[in-house]
Structure 1
Amino acid sequence: MKKLFIAALLVVGMTSFAQEKKAIPERAKMEQMTPEQRNQLHLKKMTLELDLNASQQKEMSKIIAEQSAKREAKMAERKATKDSVKKLTSDELFAKKSKMLDEQIVMKEKMKKILSADQFNKWDEMKEKRHNGMKKRMAYHQNRKQAKMGEKK
């Protein structure tokens, strides 16, 4: 009876590992698109959520393209320096965070010029929700990494 139970557990365990994983995740699908396609989708999504008019759409498309180019450059830079993992000094870290905050201030000013007051408030709320969601995901993954590290010791 004991051997039969162990064999059944092994069969169940093997079949659960043999399950096919889900097809391409959403992020991988986005990476297959060209930057122009991603920019257009982002613009359409913002148009739907913020009810942008034609002139606002034109301005937003410029901003989105600019942000996309910056993001691509930063990703390429990170990939290039990925191998040489080094700790940043406090001055380098301060400069990096300061630059990031300056860019956010400039972006916020641009958005204030383009959007109406209601649209700006809605955009700010959307940005805050996205930020909080990202924080939760980061915390979740940090906790998982710490738990895995704790298991190894």
Structure 2
Amino acid sequence: MKKVFTTALIALITITGFAQGKQNAESKKQHHGMENFTPAQRQELMLKKMTLGLDLNASQQKEMSKIMGEQMAKREAFMKDHKSKTEKPSSDQMFAMKSKMLDEQIAMKARVKKILSPEQFSKWEKINHHHHKGMKKHHSDKRRGDKNKEAETK
């Protein structure tokens, strides 16, 4: 009886240890992104990636840098404002936020279209589409993970 109990206890401890190790590895993996950099560093890295991907010239780099800086400032302000609010937005507020965000995306797309050549612009759109698709998958995985955690606690 003692052997069975001891074996079960060791198995339980081992399984728990592996489960925690996996969660820690996943959280470390997620934090290896750009969030450890300053906004200026993130902007510079993003601009360099864009320059490599789209073969931007110096004037295009300068213009895209301005746009990216403005976008990052808006995003930082939104995140700061959003974090300070404790209550969830109403459906009307959510509609207004999403509408404003889409208007800004349309304006940015128009500005970028003026800066890039048609070939570069189509490549930029493909890159953005791929990026947004990945972000949607990441967020849905995150939500699914939260639901799994809730189910485990019940």
Short-chain TM bin: 0.7 to 0.9
**In structure 1, what is the Cα distance between the partners aligned to 2:108 and 2:16?**
52
Corresponding residue to 1:70 among 74, 80, 90: 74
2:49 counterpart of 1:45: yes
3-state SS of 1:110 partner? helix
1:108 aligns with 2:109: yes
Q: Which has the higher helix share?
A: 2
Give me the TM-score of the superposition, normalised by structure 1.
0.82
Size of the alignment, in residue pairs? 150
Q: 1:9 aligns with which of 11, 14, 22?
A: 11
Give percent identity, aligned residues only: 45
Distance verdict in 2 for CA 1:122–1:142, change over 3 Å: same
Question: Aligned partners of 1:69 and 1:94: how far apart in 2?
Answer: 22
1:144 aligned partner: 145
* Equivalent residue letter for 1:77: D
Distance 1:138 1:26 in 2: 12
1:80 to 84, 107, 115: 84
The structure-2 alpha-carbon separation of the partners of 1:53 and 1:147, relative to structure 1 and needing over 3 Å to count, comes to same
Q: Alignment partner for residue 57 of structure 1, among 52, 55, 61? A: 61
- Structure 1 residues not aligned, in runs of 5+: none
Structure 2 distance, partners of 1:15, 1:152, is 18
Distance in 2, matches of 1:113 and 1:24, equals 40
Shift of 1:77: 0.5
How well do the aligned residues superpose, as a CA RMSD in angstroms? 2.6
* TM-score, normalised relative to structure 2: 0.81
Stretch of structure 1 that moved more, 47-56 or 23-32? 23-32
Q: CA deviation at 1:112?
A: 0.4
Which residue of structure 2 lines up, in the alignment, with residue 31 of structure 1?
35
